[in-house]
Amino acid sequence: MQTSRKLTRALILFFLLTVVIVTSCQTNSDQTPPSSSAFDPSILNTSDPADLHPVEWLAWQAGPHATGYDLEKGPNTYCARCHSPENWDPAAKVNEPPNCVSCKFPNEKEVRIAEGNPLIPEENWKGISCDVCHPTGIDSADTEIGWRDAVTGYSESVASPTDLCEKCHHDTETLRYKVDLGNHLHTDFTCTNCHEPHSARASCGNIGCHDDVVAVMAIYNPTHLGISDNAVCVGCHTSGMDEHTMYVKEVGSDDCIGCHINLIEIPITDAVQLGHTIYHQSVSCSACHDATQAPVEPNEADDAWTAIRQFELLGRTSRVAFTSHNLQREVDCLRCHFDGNPWDLPANIENSSAQ
């Protein structure tokens, strides 16, 4: 009897399930497919920052804070404290070699992992997401800034953008990441006065501060000033007119100065300085205006001249290019233009107080 009742119940459930499936299929088949040309805002994920803030999202993706997953940087539970806070293990520590800081050999196929720093797979790496710097609501990040404590999971308030940046960019027992503004220039600036907050990019001349200097350096050659005779132009640029044959033929003019008057008559302003010339376009502003007296060298990776910082880390000496933030108006040209310099630069160039 019990077996018969169970069989009956099973048949009833099977029948009802069949009816539901058939009805659902008929309903879906009768629906009119959505037009491909019409935009339906409901398809947006309101919790997806790429939809909510597309401009900021693209800037973040192009910057150094997007992922930061690089085996040569030792992406483990110790380094994750700043590189990917959601992956950070407070118990992780820099212990005896090998570890992420002291033993990273790019020639080896496998990264060396210390016992206290288990490797986080790339698919699990979170990077510096929106909620690290912005308190999060139900479906979006707040426009205000705040630091998310990876231990408590709550955002804590910060007094300024600099205080937020210094949650990671600070000095530790083994690492030196704190930015020194010195006591000369920009002492009242916060990080975002110069750095775009999402891409972290900065430029002395492209944010409205020193754009006049950039404009001058694009055209200013001291040897052009005061030239009034086209013969002088051709004397240096011997193939100049050959490159302009079509122009000369069409226009009927071989007047160099008439076309390039902007190279000859540059308005003398504070931006026109000995160092602000076409010859220094590959020299970073901070390389000349650095107040730390760091050596300056060409950096092939950036194709520019930069300041060089030497530091000791766990018994190893390293020399790396860096962007000095401790700047001054005065420039010591002899840091590069010294007698016997290895780059064959003109020596004994007079110093400049370029700004």
- The answer to whether the CB of 269 falls within 8 A of the CB of 257 is no
Q: For 150-191, how does the pLDDT look when each residue is reduced to its tens digit (9 = 90+)? A: 888 888 889 999 999 999 888 876 667 888 888 998 988 989
Joined together, the tokens standing for residue 156 give 């804590």
Share of the chain above pLDDT 90, in %: 5
Which long-range contacts does 64-71 make (Cβ < 8 Å, 24+ apart)?
64/200, 65/127, 65/128, 65/198, 65/200, 66/127, 66/128, 67/125, 67/127, 68/125, 68/127, 68/128, 69/122, 69/125, 69/127, 71/104, 71/111
Which DSSP state fits 195?
A: B
Model-level pTM? 0.69
CA–CA dist 343, 325 (Å, integer): 25
- pLDDT at residue 42 is higher than 80: no
> The tokens 């609501």 sit on which residue?
137
CA–CA dist 268, 274 (Å, integer): 12
C-alpha Rg value of the chain to the nearest Å:
31
Q: For 296-349, how does the pLDDT look when each residue is reduced to its tens digit (9 = 90+)? A: 999 887 788 999 887 766 566 778 888 889 999 988 888 899 898 999 888 867
Mean pLDDT, the chain, rounded, equals 75
Residue boundaries of the structural domains of the chain:
211-335
